[in-house]
Structure 1
Amino acid sequence: MPRINAATVAEHRARQRRAVLDAARDLLAETGLAPSLAEVGARAGLARSSVYQYVRSRDDLMAEVVADVFPGWADRIRAAIAAAPTPGTRVWAYVESNVAFFSGSEQRVARALGSVVDPAILHGPLQEFHLALQEPLRDALRDLGEPEVDTVADLVDAMLLSATQQIRGTQHGGDADEHRAALAPLRRVLGPYLGLAATD
């Protein structure tokens, strides 16, 4: 009888768990509703009984999605900020990444989670998500020489919320034109302060 490699079993379980979470996230983005475990299994190509190996209930599934998606979103935005070469472009990368978040499928998932998940479950991950993004923004502003870092960081966030208000109010999120329209006034206001060239 062949021996079962523990690492292979672990990798298989990790792939299946990833498939379950990805399926749940995609269904949330599409429908705005918490999917059933049967729906998740069908999307992931797994039997419903297999889904129960990873989550016990729909509520458990939503809690797992919350624990999974917020750190992933924060990591992608932080990576975009870190890749920018100057303090000014790092702040702009923060702006661009957040507009992309507000106009993409992530915002649809976040909106759906806000309507189907207990606020007590969402509170911690939301706070951690916000703090994870504020740290590199404030670091970039300090490196830019800004003397009132906290005030300017709050102003940047307020401008972002204002510029993306229309996008965030739609179920589908923004298309490419709406994305550009949201960025345009932010670029006009922040570009000179950040020292961005007109063609950046």
Structure 2
Amino acid sequence: MKNLLQPDLVLGKPITDLTPEILNSYNLKGLILDVDDTLVPKKSRQASDELMAWLQEIRPVTKIWLVSNNFNKTRIGGIANTLNLPYLLAAKKPSRKSLRQAAAAMELRFNEIAMVGDRVFTDVLAGNRLQLFTILVEPMFDPTLLHRDYPIHRLEVKISQLLGVTFPDHQQTSPPQTDQPFS
């Protein structure tokens, strides 16, 4: 039996490095995307130009839904409207309910859909519980911040490893450490 915390793919990079070729190689036709730190930094209300360009590249090959644990309809709805994507909020991941709703709306089989997120204990666990393909990505960060620290992500990775999850050596398992701007 598969470890429910084990992602099917550890991208080791932000979501914008997820290419149509990768999706096609796994026969994926639908994406359920987390929002906070997967698409935009947690406090941000705007999508980056890089994310907008990525969506233009991905849209022709896949159906996309946003599913967020965030309750802030103004923020999540605003992001979804900017991206022109359907969304569900207050998902309570790792609950499967919202993922089921998004999958049903896509009219695809579970094995054709990937749950993509930056968190093991919410995104990966929820996707695996529904038997979706799961992709763990590095969190998006606010480029105006000099210090990027994701202790929750590092803790999740450590606990996951203690529970038997493996992360390939050639892919990142924790957010990159930043260099100080002045030596």
TM, length-normalised to structure 2: 0.31
> What's the TM-score once normalised by structure 1's chain length?
0.30
Bigger RCO of structures 1 and 2 (CA < 8 A, at least 6 apart)? 2
Higher helix content, 1 or 2: 1
Higher strand share: 2
Greater Rg over alpha carbons, structure: 1
